[in-house]
Amino acid sequence: MSNPPKHTASDFHPEALRLFDQFVHGDIDRRTFISKAGRFAGAFTAVGLLETLTPKFAYAQRIAGNDGRIQAQYVEVESPKGYGKVRGYLVKPVNITGKLPAVLVIHENRGLNPHIEDIARRVALENFIAFAPDALTPLGGYPGDEDAARELFKKLDQPKTQEDFVAAFHWLAQLPESNGRVGAIGFCYGGSLSNLLATRLPTLAAAVPFYGSAPPLEAVPAIKSPLLIHFAEQDERVNASWPPYEQALKSAGKAYQAYQYAGTQHGFNNDTTPRYDEAAATLAWQRSIDFFNQHLRTSA
């Protein structure tokens, strides 16, 4: 069972959280964060602040990898238009009867870390087949360290990475246990990629981006899947892309629902960090599962 972080977002100066967001997304480096965060660190040192905000995977795992209710394994998927192969984490409920819908789980900008594997297990326990590819596969995969993962991520050829996720989607739809209907859920980078895949995949059955930036607006008319879009209230970087995106969705007559969660920070669903907001995350997760149940368990 998950243990919430000892600290919450309210324990930190808003500017410290903004600086951390810039650091996480590669806009500033570690040295710059340490230099600028000192005056907003409060009871922490700048180094202590960074350590406190960094994910603690062991404390937040909800579903163990060897949980008897699931079967989990790593698999490689062919991606001829991408890097060649993409490795991912495939999780299914045990004792599958009939065919199940599937969900592509898309990580943040650090690759397939333990938190995203745990998210895939949570999805599987909702009676879906879950597959979480690792964008860092061509660079050796998630390195076990968040800072190193972030640096590796900058080296990816993003068009090739996107093709890896397109290949993963098609592979997932064709699994023998799958009913052929696949949704996508993504967080931060994964939220942005969920938005983008909705413009690329006519057979995507549902997309659920968490605090992800908008896709190219000229591609919005190509969207076929319904969208359930989650935003944090205190997330200026991502939220700036929403008004024109929403207008494009309206103009093109696309089906979407959008929610902004009061008082939350970017990353509020990630229960390995103090930015986690339990109430908002619980509500957003239930909305997401309900959305997938609505759109992935039907035949049309």
Number of neighbours of residue 242 by Cβ within 10 angstroms: 17
Residue 86 clears pLDDT 50, i.e. is over it = yes
Distance CA 49, CA 37 (A): 8
Q: 93 with 72: CB under 8 angstroms?
A: no
Q: Which amino acid is at 135?
A: A
Q: Work out the pLDDT band at 3, boundaries 50, 70, 90.
A: low
Residue 3 included in any domain = no
> Quick one: average pLDDT of 199-222?
98
Distance CA 132, CA 186 (A): 10
Residue 218 clears pLDDT 80, i.e. is over it = yes
Q: What is the pLDDT of residue 179?
A: 95
> Quick one: average pLDDT of 4-21?
73
Q: Which amino acid is at 177?
A: E
Q: What is the CATH number of the domain that holds 255?
A: 3.40.50.1820
Residue 1 clears pLDDT 50, i.e. is over it = no
Distance CA 71, CA 172 (A): 16
Interval 182-199: pLDDT, tens:
999 999 999 999 999 999
- What mean pLDDT, rounded, does the chain reach? 91
**Could you tell me the residue range of the domain that residue 29 belongs to?**
9-53
Residue 164 included in any domain = yes
What 3-state class would DSSP assign to 234?
Answer: strand
Sign of CA dihedral 197, 212, 291, 248: negative
Domains held by the chain: number: 2
Distance CA 223, CA 113 (A): 29
Q: What is the pLDDT of residue 297?
A: 93
Strands 84-93, 129-133: pairing kind? antiparallel
> Do 252 and 145 have their domain in common?
yes
> Do 62 and 24 have their domain in common?
no
Residue 1 included in any domain = no
Domain's final residue, options 53, 68, 87: 53
Residue 176 included in any domain = yes
